[in-house]
Amino acid sequence: MKKNIIALSLLAPMAVQSAWAAKKAKTDPNRPNVIIIFADDLGYGDLGCYGAKNVKTPNVDRLAEQGIRFTDTHAVAATSTPSRYSLLTGEYAWRRPDTDIAAGNAGMIIKPGQFTMADMFKSRGYSTCAIGKWHLGLGEKQGTQDWNAQLPMGLGDLGFDYHYIMAATADRVPCVFIEDGSVANWDSENPIEVSYKKNFKGEPTGKDNPELCYNLQSSVGHNQSIVNGIGRIGYMRGGGKALWKDENIADSITSHAISFIKANQDKPFFMYFATNDVHVPRFPHPRFRGKSGMGLRGDAIVQFDWSVGQIMETLDKLGIADNTIILLSSDNGPIIDDGYQDRAEELLNGHKPAGPWRGNKYSTFEGGTQVPAIIRWPKNIKGGQTSTTLMSQIDWMASLGSLIGARFPQGSAPDSQNRLGNLLGTDTEDRPYVIEFAYNHVLSVRTKEWKYIEPSDGPKTLTWAPKAETGSDPQPQLYNIKNNLWEAESVAPENPKIVYDMQNILRRERAKSEKYTHFVPGV
Ligand code: NG6
Ligand code: CA
């Protein structure tokens, strides 16, 4: 008996130890989990940790406190589709002619033959998923999708093991989630039809029946089909119980993200979590209403912060936060009025969505692509850091690839540089230059010191938002960002040599496209 007790007491710590080891083994030191939280239209100045006062974002602020907050990071483009294309392929979207803001019935813009960020993680044995906003097309060809059947081509062909996505934006039809290649909660009694050309007979539109837009009225456009009392871009019929309710989108994608994390807690996973917040139509859940004092746009930021908090809490509960990288950013800069009467402008009360930067989403000015960017990886990154390093999201693919030891097929991610040290805070050398792609197809170049914007025709402000600047000017523009973050007055005439050098950067970059065009079908 005594012997047994001794044996047991010897065994007990071993049992504890092996349980501990099992828990530790949940994550692989060489293959940390990676979650990219990609907000939509969230501005540099929209978060507490970036100086916002009228809206509280305690979860994101905590993420920043536990990691590195970057102050000079750029999305590749000032709108969603080209920005996301570039992030997920490591190729500048402007090299291709077909990466403008995609319709909800666009065909797949990334081709299955391309090596994507998801392929990269998969090649190292990760479980991969995309949850939330997609906006990069589905199926083979524009307008040919049968939304009542399995889509023949989709995210499964791009390296994602699982997806639960919105085809495009919340303001574009079809207003349904796609799960693993077919409409989630598909309603056989209400088959779905979609057109971006003409309305379906007998269906109301926002244009003809504004009284049916009981949840939100449009200010510009957004007056075609009406779903959930909100006018949209594009026409759709049917959907029934598959149609989303805008106020539940954050809940829905967050709960799917949590389920994915739970199901994959024991293996390395990569999650692309692309929130709908804070894109229009801003229509957060009632429990977030009035929580910011800035109306719907501010409340949508609070909702975004809640989603982030839910992800963080899940990692904590599962004991995997330590070896999970969270990389949080936005697809482009902020815009106040994006076509719905949500009083975003009137309720700002001094809030500056783009922080210190001039311009906004769509713009060639810094506000178009300057985005918040935060990394947290408790196991390897000391908290409480701020980094002023000049960075671009274009490099995240090669950098994360190098971290996990991925090998890239020849020609893949051609514009992505391995600048892992920048991301981890161990190397503060700026990217020599960053290229920015604006809505009007104008390219700009940023170095740590200078900003060059190539000349372009076109209006100085957006037609639908007269206060929002495009940055267009028929003259080349040059700004000394080091002296003044706000692009106030161009100093191009006095600095011809710098203008010339910056133009040369663009010339050289553009010339590379010839090598890359094999990605474009038919070229
Ligand atoms: C514009 C829409 C805007 C938004 C944008 C795409 C109008 C007037 N404006 O055409 O509301 O949907 O496209 O935004 O319809 S993005 O962040 O997805 O690029
Ligand atoms: Ca966007």
176 φ/ψ sector (left φ>0, alpha ψ -120 to 50, else beta): beta
Ligand having the closest approach to the CA of 81: 1
Predicted local distance difference test score (pLDDT) of residue 11: 47
Q: What are the start-end ranges of the E strands in 61-114?
A: 68-74
Tens-digit pLDDT string for the chain (523 aa): 344 444 444 444 444 444 444 455 588 989 999 999 999 999 999 999 999 999 999 999 999 999 999 999 999 999 999 999 999 999 999 999 999 999 999 999 999 999 999 999 999 999 999 999 999 999 999 999 999 999 999 999 999 999 999 999 999 999 999 999 999 999 999 999 999 999 999 999 999 999 999 999 999 999 999 999 999 999 999 999 999 999 999 999 999 999 999 999 999 999 999 999 999 999 999 999 999 999 999 999 999 999 999 999 999 999 999 999 999 999 999 999 999 999 999 999 999 999 999 999 999 999 999 999 999 999 999 999 999 999 999 999 999 999 999 999 999 999 999 999 999 999 999 999 999 999 999 999 999 999 999 999 999 999 888 899 999 999 999 999 999 999 999 999 999 999 999 999 999 999 999 877 544 443 3
Q: Is residue 171 in contact with ligand 1, taking CB distance under 6 Å?
A: yes
Predicted local distance difference test score (pLDDT) of residue 521: 41
For residue 81, give the ligand 1 atom closest to its CA.
19
What DSSP string runs through 103-120? -TTPPPSS-TTS--HHHH
Using a 10 angstrom Cβ sphere, with 0-12 exposed, 13-18 middle and 19 or more buried, the burial of residue 207 is middle
Q: Is residue 338 in contact with ligand 1, taking CB distance under 6 Å?
A: yes
Residue with tokens 């590749």: 76
In contact, 94 and 441? CB cutoff 8 Å: yes
Distance 460 CA to ligand 1 centre (A): 18
Residue nearest (by alpha carbon) to ligand 1 atom 6: 101
For residue 338, give the ligand 1 atom closest to its CA.
11
For residue 464, give the ligand 1 atom closest to its CA.
8
C-alpha closest to that of 178 among 88, 261, 239: 239
Predicted local distance difference test score (pLDDT) of residue 119: 98
For residue 340, give the ligand 1 atom closest to its CA.
11
Q: Is residue 348 in contact with ligand 1, taking CB distance under 6 Å?
A: no
Q: Is residue 219 in contact with ligand 1, taking CB distance under 6 Å?
A: no
Ligand having the closest approach to the CA of 38: 2
Q: How far apart are CA 90 and CA 73, in angstroms?
A: 16
Q: How far apart are CA 336 and CA 353, in angstroms?
A: 8
Predicted local distance difference test score (pLDDT) of residue 343: 97
Q: Is residue 218 in contact with ligand 1, taking CB distance under 6 Å?
A: no
Q: Is residue 79 in contact with ligand 1, taking CB distance under 6 Å?
A: yes
Residue nearest (by alpha carbon) to ligand 1 atom 10: 101
**Phi/psi at 10 (5° precision):** -75, -35
For residue 172, give the ligand 1 atom closest to its CA.
12
Distance 42 CA to ligand 1 centre (A): 14
Distance 80 CA to ligand 2 centre (A): 4
Distance 109 CA to ligand 2 centre (A): 17
Ligand having the closest approach to the CA of 437: 1
Predicted local distance difference test score (pLDDT) of residue 27: 87
Q: Is residue 80 in contact with ligand 1, taking CB distance under 6 Å?
A: yes
Q: Is residue 169 in contact with ligand 1, taking CB distance under 6 Å?
A: yes
C-alpha closest to that of 178 among 148, 157, 141, 142: 148
Q: How far apart are CA 433 and CA 444, in angstroms?
A: 10
Distance 338 CA to ligand 1 centre (A): 7
Q: Is residue 233 in contact with ligand 1, taking CB distance under 6 Å?
A: yes
Measured torsion, CA atoms of residues 52, 53, 56, 58, in degrees rounded to the nearest 10: 70
The whole-model pTM stands at: 0.94
Predicted local distance difference test score (pLDDT) of residue 464: 84
> Amino acid identity of 203?
E
Token pair of 199 as six digits: 């309305």
Distance 169 CA to ligand 1 centre (A): 8
Q: How far apart are CA 118 and CA 101, in angstroms?
A: 22
Predicted local distance difference test score (pLDDT) of residue 24: 52
